[in-house]
Amino acid sequence: MAIHKPVLLKEVIELLEPKSGENFIDCNYGQGGHSKAILEKIKPGGGLLGIDADLDIKNIKDIKDIILIKDNFVNLKAIYEHNFPYPISGILFDLGFSSDQLENSGRGFSFLTDEPLDMRYNPEGQRLTAKEILNKYGEKSLVRIFREFGEIGEKLARKMARATVVRRGRRLFEMTSDLLEVIGAKAVRHKKRIHPATQFFQALRIEVNKELDNLRQTLPQALEILKPGGRLAVISFHSLEDRIVKNYFRGWAREGRVELLTKKPLTTGEEELKSNPRARSAKLRAIKKIDSKECVKNF
């Protein structure tokens, strides 16, 4: 199993400024790298709520002083109110997923191993799978998913959608190798560092887990439950996520509701990339919630 390295850990701690006695929420607990570092800063007297739709008890059995909830962060406000109703000084979203999810889930997140086309973060709580999308979605819907969520050109998206429909007419999609067979026939390797299958797998994963819709729904909840002066940090891993975060943060700043702590996103340095090359696309943005009384005074 690959050792999980929390991305941009130093920068996250500097931006969130956790202090003794404060309460924090980690909305993507994963293997707990960020949470453990925050917990060290908020002791004694502080508390931490960890949320993850794909919570694995094997990774957390030795962790104390953290309340853990297996759920999707789209339900953030309800999770907070029912499990952790304290003043919140900081909230973190790490929108990536761990190497363990990629390589050992058995759910088809990676094209490097032949696995069932599932891609659900929480199989117990979700119904839609990547296999269903490929076998049942109409051609126009497939074009939209490949184009919008995979950031694939219109021409290639149409080719892939057509090839998908033709292929399932002969034999239904079941395994990642089935999808790779179609991608290999239609996708052209461009002069990029990423494998051509990466964007198609990304598109299906986003559709299965409603990642962008969930992000749009949860960011306002996060701002609402933060106490005045509280901080919100988000690590995104592709331009679709980063654009949503940027637009929300800048919009709130124009309204005088937050202070931008990062005018431009922070990215990983050379040293971190040497030990964690998967972090190359990470972007970190952060804001500080402004006291409503201060807003009125400034106005």
C-alpha 139: how far from chain center: 27
Is 52 known as a binding-site position? Answer: yes
**Sequence-distant (≥ 6) Cβ neighbours of residue 258 within 8 angstroms:** 223, 232, 249, 252, 287, 288, 289, 290
Q: Is 65 labelled a binding residue?
A: no
- Contact predicate 27/218, CB 8 Å: yes
Structural contact between residues 7 and 236, judged by C-beta atoms closer than 8 angstroms: no
121: exposed, middle or buried (Cβ count in 10 Å: 0-12, 13-18, 19+): buried
221 annotated to bind ligand: no
CA–CA dist 184, 165 (Å, integer): 16
Comparing CA positions, the residue from 193, 147, 198 lying closest to residue 176 is 198
Site of tokens 């940090």: 233
Q: Does 34 appear as a known binding residue?
A: yes
Closest CA to 141 of 118, 110, 165: 165
Is the distance from CB of 130 to CB of 118 less than 8 angstroms? Answer: yes
DSSP H helices, the chain, are: 9-16, 33-42, 76-83, 99-104, 130-136, 139-144, 154-170, 176-186, 197-209, 211-225, 239-254, 270-275, 292-298
Query: Known binder of ligand: residue 94?
Result: yes
Binding-site residue numbers are: 32-34, 52, 73, 94, 101
Binding-site residue numbers for S-adenosyl-L-methionine are: 32-34, 52, 73, 94, 101
